[in-house]
Amino acid sequence: MPRTPLSTAVLNEQRAAVGLPPHTGPDEPAALRRAALQTLLAARDAGGDGSVSRPVVRGAVRFLLDRLAELAPGRSVEVRVPPHAAVQCIDGPHHTRGTPPNVVEMDAETWIALATGRLSWADALAGGRVRASGSRADISAYLPIPLD
């Protein structure tokens, strides 16, 4: 199945569905991803069925992963949110080929909840919502992610 890219049109369709005004910011990836997160959070806060289009979810995930990589630069831990995105972060020893020794993996819902402070790292681990392997795979010090 081909991916629908996050565009202003796709974003504004979702924003209209949750009663938000259209996105009037730049039509560039970083701005669209930030607006995607705002849209997704508004949809979740509004209750309803919580359905948000894949491009908007992917944009929100990418925005939060990009912020994590900015706040914790490095290549010692890989954080994966399949099928949406993955980033390497946290300073320290890094790998160059194959599967990295420190991997954190979860679904999009869990990542967004962790990154925005709606779920704690301890609860996510205890509930089996996060798979973390390696001695450096505890990313709780970087959560929740400041959005400013």
pLDDT in tens, 69-123: 999 999 899 999 999 999 999 998 766 666 778 999 999 999 999 999 999 999 9
Domain extents for the chain?
8-142
* Class of domain 8-142 as given by CATH: alpha beta
Q: 56 by DSSP, 3-state: which?
A: helix
pLDDT in tens, 6-50: 999 999 999 999 999 999 999 999 999 999 999 999 998 887 666
Question: pTM for the full model?
Answer: 0.93
